[in-house]
Chains A and B, each alone.
Chain A
Amino acid sequence: MSATGTINAGYLENLLAGQPQLPTSPLAWLNALRAEAVDRVGALTVPTLRDEEWRFTDISLLTKMSFHPVRTTISLQAADIEHFYIEEATTRLVFVDGVYAPQLSSGIAGSGVTVVNLEAGFTAHAATIEPYLGRLTEFRGNVFAALNTAFLHDAALIVVPRDISVTVPVHLLFIATQKDVVSYPRCLLLAESGSAVTVIEDYVSLQEDAYFTNAVAEIALLDNARVNHIRVQREGAKAFHIANCAVSLAHASNYQSVSVAFGARISRYNLNVQLAEEAECAVDGLALISGRQLADTHTCIDHAKPHAVSHQMHKCIVGGGAHAVFNGKIMVRQGAQRTDSRQSSRNLLLTNKAHVDTKPQLEIFADDVKCTHGATIGQLDSEEVFYLQSRGLSDTAARNMLTYAFGAEIIERIPISSLKCQLEQTVLEQTATQL
């Protein structure tokens, strides 16, 4: 045990090494927040298989590698990254290895909607964001969120004022360009009462070597606000991606989220959603992995108040010797009567060596609720394959079509058509190469 502790401490110290170089923020509370996060990193350890929340996900590979914060940023041209653009999303913030790239971004600032790098939002919004930034995420007990918070500097800030509906989707593009670099992407979205916005959180890479993305997103929906959150994790094949997202829904607000994970050697996504009275959320996910990839999704949907609705559909398509993990906790607290919660975990194994761990976890402390959940793990149905073959399709074409259809059910829930087509194409290509 002590040996493990030492390795952990040294590892975390190394990760913290670049932290003192961060410029001091003009906001005292932000400096205090970072300092507290540094303390927490000192007190916490890197999780192992012995931790209940990590028992399926072995990240020892990550701790064997050394990553440093970005030293010199690479200057990219629009032409280098245009292929990542999403046609409909003309409002765009670009971060290169975690560093804000103003020349590639097209944010919005001013009296109305704010889509800027954090610093630029201080003048107008310092007081507004203080109750949320670093407060929605429970970084005190989470070493990766604490590390991210210790490095909190550049971040995407979106503030949508009361009763404003933003028609153009906002694209937050996080690009990895350097090997051995750890970056700390950060987002804060504040949707004020009655507002509506669609945000795409997109992780991509321009290189194939190992790097580490440690991201945190915080999303607050005030009364009656509506947020569409699309998360695309298409990191490089050797990347490590660990992300925490905390969402807080106030009265009668509505959060719709689709997250897809295609990339990274090891990825972990923790999503915590807290629902107030009459709030509604749909939390859907798709992991499509192969080779030696590991993709872990941990969600916690917390029905803290009565009359809230949550729907969740999570799918995994696992090829090669890959390993997918889904842990879906639904918490219905005492007094959260008339909760309506539906969860489904469906998993498709394409090979004999593919592996999935799925764990629906319902904790219900109220007595007048409607909660359903189900999990299936299976292979492609041979009768379905035969049916398609009997119509002239080859065995491969038949399998591709069925695998594609399995994943398309989640992709179709993305409300942006060009992104939907792009991702459907990815699913088609990935299934074609795997079979």
Chain B
Amino acid sequence: MKLDNIYQEEKKSNFAKVAEIIITMASRPSGFIGLSILIFHVVLAFISPYIAPYDFKAINPTLMLQAPSAEYWFGTDDLGRDVFTRTILGGRTALTITFFGSLIALLWGGLLGIFCGLVGGKTDDIVMRIVDAFLSIPWILAMLLIVSLLGTSTEVLIPALGFFYGKGIVRVARAATHDVIAKDFIVSARARGHSNFSIIWNEIIPNVRDAILVEGAMRWSWMLLGFSSLSFLGFGVSPPTPDWGLMISNARGLMSFAYWSVIAPIVGLSSLIIGINLTADAFAKALGIDRSTKAPV
């Protein structure tokens, strides 16, 4: 018996369903905080070019390493650039690249996982061993290889990140598919003679969608960290584009006497990651995937 049965709801539009999920997410303190942080960052990424007080690449030797003041809220860096401007602009690249990267990861990881779960047998064995092999390679090594061979342009970074973070999704999607595949409605669809494509599209995807979306959201925050690490190592976006990883890397030697130039990007990056994680968590709970908070009875 499920509690949902009690009120016979009518069929809702997709929009109403999404709205309901978001309201459920926001009704939890952690979900509310996570959503607020995420929305704040996304909005900031859109409007920052218009509200930035200074030019992000304007070098001014007379203003080197100024402490925070009314004029320069977060101080200035070693080249005399405004840290506030660079911080609010610094999330744009990271957010865009990792967002599209996660979409690619979700798509290929999810579909391959579902396919392997459905087909099983030798195909499944072979594909999963390849995925395992890739999982065992330290990602940073492989990323560095790709980036140094193909360059650091956005067109390379998005698929590269998408590929590397999709491997984990393959496993989750496959496991979720295994849960569904044993159910009689799949057997019934098979016995009726539906094609594999139709079974995946109509029967499996609606049932594993939620689990994969939550996993994708988690991967997003990991990817963000990964991308910033690449920038930190100098393989991400190239200067003078403002980027948190790059800013941290540049300012880390000056930490002892100009802490402000490193703290601002750190706060930006970590708050975004925390925001995404909390949102993903609340998302899982709102969908009822997280069993610890499932409705009683």
Same complex origin of A and B = no
